[in-house]
Chain A
Amino acid sequence: MSVSGATALSQLTEIVGEANIVRDPRQLTRYDIDSKTPSAAVRPAAEAEVAEIVKFAGREKLACVVSGAQTKLGIGMPPRRYDLALDLSRLDRIIAYDPEDLTLSAEAGTPLSKIASVLAEHDQFIPLTVPFMARATIGGTIVSGVDSPLRHSYGTARDFVLGMNFVTGDGIAAKSGGRVVKNVSGYDIHKMLIGSLGTLGAITRINFRTFPLPRQTRTFVAEFRGSREACEFRNAIVGSVLRPRTLEIVSESARGQLLPAEKARAAFGDNRWSVYVAFAGDEDVLKRNYKELEAARHSEDRVSEWLRELNPVDEQSVMSIVSEFPAAILKRFPAAAILKISALGAELPDLASYTASIEMPWAVVMRGLGVAYLALWPPDGSEGSLHVLKQHCRRIFALAGKPPFRHVTLPWCPSALKRDIDIWGPLPASFELMKKLKNVFDPGGILSPGRFMGGI
């Protein structure tokens, strides 16, 4: 079945109007997923329209992929079928914002930048500095499960999303949670929609807890000759009374790739591993943090070459390196493979030292909490080069489940790799439950079929 039939088209037109249906093949390429193009895109402007479209798609057995700004369609497997792109970028209203209650409710297609500027007027923010920040929508950010360096102090979306409205695969508008910061009424279905890659429902609205922007922040960088020393520094910080806002360990290759060379030299030394640690607080607090970092840097035989405070401009660029890392790598190396690896914090030294065995270009950013993004890219565009990339990825997946590779997924990689590698890694013990849950939300299997783990 496809959307080419005249009846099908007229029904869609009835729901959203002619102007909001895209049929032009050139315009449709923006919705491509691994070179699969939908036969039409439809742009609803309200939840009721989303529900109508999904109902229609269910009747016609049309496979739908929901997107916002189409920045992260590369994540996941290509859909088994792809008839309709459900573009939610017109659902872009901030429904409610109560600065004094620290809550905000926005439609899924609202750009992150719009939310950020509305919040900034009240010196507030949502701790989602994520890849593709400049264009991404709030819905795409939440449903793709990308994370932010700020998770070190604020947690991830599951910790500050208060509730959601969504349309299930049978076209039913439903909700869970609410708009207050504490709530145990009903099941936390919205938690499961976070990172579900559009396979359970089309999220139409998300309610957030917002946070006061710190008046003052400061980022310090310490640089080490080896990864082990950098990780030990991380351990010293985590085991101390300090409460960093962010804590990231960055390989020289990552920094070198992402910062213009001269700026990198000016702001940083040429050591191999950098630890970036940011704090918020008044001048007394920041001074104390610096003092403690100094002590941590000198303990035992671990002495870094540098411990310095970044000026506000460099602080900004460091924040963007660590949060935009996947986006920046893909921009430079479209054929890169970026693995997401979860380790326990104390296992990070083993993860970092693994990189010594990688015989191709690589770069890594490791969050202090134990989540790492490891990018590998082929040195050239040759077939052989792609083969080497595949072999490396396979080698890492073969280690999946054992420390420090407790979880391995491959959120971004060339389409060719997806044919041979299970990018979601080994199936978890609860996979049977996940399959049954998918069936509850999307009995017809029309939402992003095949894009998620285990063919879901």
Chain B
Amino acid sequence: MLYEYDGSIETARPDCVVFPRETHDVVEIARLAARHQVPIVGRGAGTGLSGGAIARHGGIVVSFARMNRILAVDAENQRAVVQPGVVNSDLSAAVEHLGVHFAPDPSSQKACTIGGNVSENSGGPHTLAYGVTTNHVLALEIVLPSGEAVRLGSTALDTPGYDVTGLFVGSEGTFGLVTEITVKLTRNPEAVKTLLAIFDSVDDATETVAEITARGITPAACEMLDGWTIRAVEEYVHAGFPLDCSAILLIEADGLREAAEADARGIADVCSAHHARNVRVPRDARERDLFWKGRKNAFGAAGRLSPSYYTQDGVIPRTKLPATLRRIEEIGRKYNLRIGNVFHAGDGNLHPIILFDERNEQEFRDTIRAGDEIIEYCISVGGSITGEHGVGMEKDRLMSLLFSESDLELMRRVRGVFNPADLLNPGKIFPTSKGCGEIYVRPRPAPTVAPSA
């Protein structure tokens, strides 16, 4: 049952779940699956938010839970080699004494795996300055659905030939199963300055974000929570966020002490100029961690207030933030749905959280409609349907809003190079011919097992 779910609202039951320990085991599994023409779906921790790890058409789920060893750390050259099941924050913890860390830091980093990060090209709050997963992956060992193991890239920079590694990262498990990953490690900054800016108006907060960038400051992170989310978080985490405000920005500047201080001063100036009620600096590391705990547990906090919630991942140019948030509010009113907002403001990556009750069929439908309207708006202002969660089976039908049939056809042919029989994670990314909506209107926990292959 557990393997029917991930962090999204989708479910499907696999026929079996296997737990390989070595690349060789994965090769054998792939060969077996190929022989019997059974779908295979890779799975890390199942924290994904787009159904990437769900066996939509049944088959074998390959859990990488036991392939969780850090194989090598080379601090001098800032490299690590890991198995796919290594938990994201475990790698950073293991190399902390060397003064380095793994930069991608999804909110689920205490559970999610690096293999999953590679498949989804995951982001996180600090990707604003440090980039997403693809910017930190140098080499991969993958197992193709044919059972062939292939190495892509290398630990040295600029591997000659096509950048197949760059193509692979973010392919959502449709190209191959990742069995080994060589990543870059990032040197820890000397200083980190965290600011919590408190606003009485959402517009002031969003305009602050645009202005910080316009001033040439690139914060290490720039996160926003709206008033409703703040109150939900506060009840759950007790991060010390004020309950009566409309928005907070959690902003970080880092680097050399002098540089972090100068940036923090500049950021505080912008916040004040945009009528921030208050700009707080955490007293100590403990309070800083608490602020971040508040941010990273926002989804969990929202989840406590409603039977279900639906998180989206649209991206917009950051100057469109004020207008987009107003639009989201209108959409919430139209469908009478509660929509909270907590997101990576610095890079315009929204995460509206729509609360609903899955037992209420009308509300479920409305939730999906509201979600689609938000995404359509994002696209209309030049944005994208997903910034870091992936297309998966949740946004596949939205792909044709972004890409033409010939774009998609080329992508399918590219997939065919790796996965010609579509045995690997079938039913993901590409719009299905069934048209939209079918899988959505069926409230959980109705069974959604599709016939395999």
Contacts and interface: CB of A to CB of B under 8 A. Distances in A.
A406 B153 CA distance: 12
Interface residues of B, number: 85
B403 A175 contact: yes
A453 B163 CA distance: 12
Contacts of A226: none
Contact of B318 (A101, A147, A158, A187): A101
Interface in B277-304: none
Interface in A257-302: 281-282, 284-285, 287-289
A194 interface: yes
Contacts of A436: 417
Contact of B414 (A179, A289, A437): A437
Contact of B162 (A155, A172, A434): A434
A182 interface: yes
A194 B382 contact: no
Given A192-B167, A436-B417, A243 B255 contact: yes
Interface string A385-398: 00000000000000
Given A98-B319, A178-B384, A346-B77, A192 B164 contact: yes
A191 interface: yes
B166 A191 contact: yes
Contacts of A155: 131, 135
A437 B164 contact: yes
A450 interface: no
B425 interface: no
Contacts of A123: 216
Contacts of A289: 256
A340 B383 CA distance: 38
A185 B256 contact: no
Contacts of A340: 158
Contacts of A437: 162, 164, 167, 414, 417
Contacts of A343: 156
Contact of B76 (A174, A187, A345): A345
A281 B258 contact: yes
Interface in A348-406: 369-371, 406
A181 B169 contact: no
Interface stretch (B65-73, B343-351, B355-363): B343-351
B232 interface: no
Given A182-B347, A440-B410, A434 B164 contact: yes
A186 B160 contact: no
B348 A180 contact: yes
Interface in B253-283: 255-259, 262
Given A100-B319, A180-B315, A281-B256, A186 B402 contact: yes
Given A196-B162, A289-B256, A172 B348 contact: no
Nearest to B403: A186
B259 A281 contact: yes
Interface stretch (A35-43, A246-254, A422-430): A422-430
A242 to B, nearest CB: 7
B161 A189 contact: no
A206 to B, nearest CB: 15
A433 B417 contact: yes
A407 interface: yes
B185 to A, nearest CB: 12
Interface of A: 98-103, 123, 145, 147, 155-156, 158-159, 168, 172-176, 178-189, 191-192, 194-196, 200, 211-215, 235, 239, 241-243, 281-282, 284-285, 287-289, 340, 342-346, 369-371, 406-407, 409, 424-425, 427-434, 436-438, 440-441, 452-453
Interface of B: 74, 76-79, 120-121, 123, 127, 131-132, 134-135, 150-164, 166-167, 169-171, 187, 189-190, 210, 213-218, 255-259, 262, 315-319, 344, 347-349, 382-391, 395, 399, 402-404, 406-408, 410-411, 413-418, 429
**Which 10 pairs show the lowest CB-CB distances between chains A and B?**
A191-B166, A212-B216, A241-B190, A406-B156, A101-B317, A342-B156, A182-B387, A429-B151, A344-B77, A284-B258
17 contacts: A100-B214, A145-B158, A158-B163, A174-B407, A178-B315, A180-B383, A180-B387, A182-B123, A184-B389, A186-B402, A191-B134, A241-B187, A287-B258, A345-B76, A369-B157, A437-B164, A438-B162
